[in-house]
Amino acid sequence: MAVVPDGERQHKKKTCMEDSRMQTAIQTQSRCPAVAIDRFIPRMLAHSGLGVWSHFLANVFTLLLLSPLVAHATLSIPVSEDDLAQYAAAIVVGQVKEIESYWDDNAKQVFTHITVTVQETLKGDVNAGEFTVKQLGGTIGHLHSWVVGSPEFTVGEKVLLFLDTNADGSAGVAHLYQGKLSVFIDRDTGNEVAYRGETPDGVQVLTNAKTAKAQTASTSSGFYEMTALTDRIREVLQTAPTEQRAFSAPFPLLQIPPGSTAEKQEGFVVVGIPPVRWFEPDSGIPVTMSLNPTNILPTGEEQIDAAFHAWNAARQSTFRFNKGPITDSIGFKADGVNAISFNDPSSQLPDPMNCSGVLAAAEYVTVSDESRTLHEQTFLRILEADLVFANGWENCTAFKSSANIAEVATHELGHVLGLNHSPNPDATMFRLAHFDGRGAALHPDDEKGVAFLYPDASFPPCTYGISPSKRTLAGGATSGKITVSTRDGCGWTAGSTVPWISISEGSGSSGTGTVVYAVEANSAKTARRGSIVVAGKTFAVTQKGASSRSGIPRFFAR
């Protein structure tokens, strides 16, 4: 996805990243960069819901420790919290009760229904008790489709949602990931904390971690005091023009369309581990993308061509984009055509507010029953990808410049070929638009990423070592580290195979690095076994049964 910071004020990113803007608004300027990070790292958080939280907690820690690595895999101009509150059709606090994905054969899409039990309505007219959020993407059988930048959900999670109305009248999360916060209890204070974050998904692009340091200090944590946040929302709504205080239709419970194949899921999350790639380049076949010329931006075709060329010219990479014939395939559609559309023809992306929001987004479709081993790791196959430019930017400067269009196209095509965001703020695959006139240019970091995924003969295969390779633990909650050794430019991912082990840091990186994991207390009397797969290698964990001692603080306990 492509995002522009609030009101195109990208310069703010050096001092105060997008998630911090609410903190500036509702708290004090000094809270913005680092204070909240210091405050939360040593603490134990307990969730306020009843569901599976280890996955989510892993993200919390990833964000805290590696903020720039946690990417919403999308290029956008972050929307201000006040704007979100003002323009949202409804704002609700609730708990995720059920998640169900289905294939809609008419739309040629996987959709996911997330049923939320309402606990508090801050704005709008939602169905009392329960309502359904409908999001594009999800998993059905072997098929996984995902709009990069979508909000993620887990059953049992407590959430604060800014809702928007989908084109079909159903409720959707406003501004993709930006409209969803998770709600926790800070165990030390007993207060609720709202957190906005994303799963670090897929192959994190390959950057020397050292370059991320400058960013870490200046990046906000993404945490909000829940009371302050809801107070601020109410305040904004009180002073908002009447028509913005509530303009939603009631959001009801939705039914899965009759005849659709449906599957209940524990989560609506991106598949990122194992990582994904196209298999065509392995046989010297390019990936063909076709332009839908309807409402194309001025010079749009030239900028897309330039973006194709930039990726095709990357050193040590066999990946090639091929420009296909013009297509009438539109928007995000799993129809076998890799299409590029302008002006969001199927109304699948949020419109900008005050010249901030999503500029463009990529969706890809992967299958879990086709995999290949590369660099000692398993990669799933990308079958199809579509790229959609948002509409509603006519009166903003973002797309007035050809160089900006080219930068957005280059960034999105990077997602199309399988790259995630780079932690390197200078990389074109960084999560925020630069709009510095770079146009269709790759940073060396971007080139390393594509060369790793599609190595030519001059790119030596990556090899990995992990240390230690196993650990036996007592029954209490604990944490630990795994060291990954490899050379610079070699990417890897880490993922837990069980819900009671979560990755706190280093779920994806490149070069030599560290994976930090957290293990929940074992409340059973018997030992249990789980593992973390790191860089294709297995780190085995044996955890003994519950200790008879009580009162031990349980790290990440449920």
Shortest Cβ distance from residue 449 to Zn ion (Å)? 12
φ/ψ (deg, to 5) at 218: -105, 10
Nearer Cβ to Zn ion, position 1 or 183? 1
Nearer to Zn ion, 1 or 409 (CB): 1
Count of residues binding Zn ion (CB under 5 A)?
A: 3
Q: How far is the CB of 419 from Zn ion (least distance, A)?
A: 9
- The H-or-E segment that residue 37 falls in is helix 35-40
Please list every residue from 91 through 110 that binds Zn ion, using CB under 5 A.
none
Select 163 or 205, whichever has its Cβ closest to Zn ion.
Answer: 205
Give least dist CB 148 to Zn ion, A.
6
CB of 322 to Zn ion, least distance (A): 22
- CA atoms within a 13 Å half-sphere pointing along the CA-CB vector of 363: 32
Which C-beta is closer to Zn ion: that of 1 or that of 416?
A: 1
Q: Does 132 bind Zn ion (CB under 5 A)?
A: no
**Listed ranges 15-23, 67-75, 314-322, 448-456: which one lies at the site for Zn ion (CB under 5 A):** 67-75
Q: Which stretch binds Zn ion (CB under 5 A): 75-83, 118-126, 346-354, 444-452?
A: 75-83
For residue 252, what are the CA distances in angstroms to 114, 126, 283? 12, 7, 49
Q: Which stretch binds Zn ion (CB under 5 A): 73-81, 310-318, 471-479, 491-499?
A: 73-81
Q: Which residue, 1 or 99, is less far from Zn ion as judged by CB? A: 1
* Distance of closest approach, residue 154 Cβ to Zn ion, in angstroms: 23
Helix or strand holding residue 503 (H, E): strand 501-505
Q: What part of residues 1-20 is at the interface with Zn ion (CB under 5 A)? A: 1
Residue 74 or 493: the one with the smaller Cβ distance to Zn ion is 74
Cβ neighbours for 253, distance < 8 A, ≥ 6 positions apart: 115, 127, 130, 131, 132
Residue with tokens 């310069």: 11
- Both tokens assigned to 297: 């931006």
Nearer residue to Zn ion within complex by CB, 150 or 265: 150
Q: Fill in the amino acid letter for 236.
A: V
With respect to Zn ion, which residue has the nearer C-beta, 74 or 115? 74
- What is d(CA 284, CA 136) in angstroms, rounded to the nearest whole number? 32
Structural contact between residues 153 and 268, judged by C-beta atoms closer than 8 angstroms: yes
> Which window, 72-80, 123-131, 208-216, 375-383, contacts Zn ion (CB under 5 A)?
72-80
| CA–CA separation, 540 and 266 (whole Å) | 24
Residue 75 binds to Zn ion (criterion: CB under 5 A): yes
Site string for Zn ion, 313-352 (x = CB under 5 A): ----------------------------------------
In whole angstroms, give the CA distance from residue 273 to residue 200.
Answer: 10
Of 332, 6, 24, 357, the closest CA to residue 179 belongs to 357
DSSP assigned state of 290: E
Q: Which is nearer to Zn ion, 75 or 110 (CB)?
A: 75
Nearer Cβ to Zn ion (363/520): 363
Report, in Å, the least distance between residue 550 CB and Zn ion. Answer: 47
- We find the least distance from the C-beta atom of residue 500 to Zn ion, in angstroms, to be 32
In the complex with Zn ion, the residue whose CB is nearer, 186 or 363, is: 363
Piece of the chain touching Zn ion by CB under 5 A; list 66-74, 93-101, 400-408, 515-523:
66-74
165-195 b/e (C-beta count within 10 Å ≥ 16 → b): bbeeebbbbbbbbbbbbbbbbbeeeeebbbb
Question: Among the candidate windows 18-26, 68-76, 188-196, 325-333, which touches Zn ion by CB under 5 A?
Answer: 68-76
Nearest to 424 by CA among 313, 509, 485: 509
For residue 242, give every residue at least 6 positions away whose Cβ sits within 8 Å of its Cβ, in sequence order, or none: none
Smallest distance, Å, CB 1 to Zn ion? 5
Shortest separation between residue 63's beta carbon and Zn ion, angstroms: 17
**74 binds Zn ion, rule: CB under 5 A:** yes
Which CB atom, from 147 or from 519, has the smaller least distance to Zn ion?
Answer: 147
Stretch that binds Zn ion, among 70-78, 218-226, 252-260, 387-395 (CB under 5 A): 70-78
Residues 6 or more apart whose CB falls under 8 angstroms from that of 448 comprise: 205, 206, 207, 489, 510
* Shortest reach from residue 420's CB to Zn ion, in Å: 8
- 146: tokens are 């995902």
Cβ-Cβ contacts under 8 Å for 366 (sequence gap 6 or more): 143, 144, 145, 146, 271, 276, 380, 381, 382, 383
Best CA proximity match to 424, nearest among 437, 406, 405, 442: 442
Least Å distance, CB 69 to Zn ion, is 13
Name the residues that contact Zn ion, by CB under 5 A: 1, 74-75
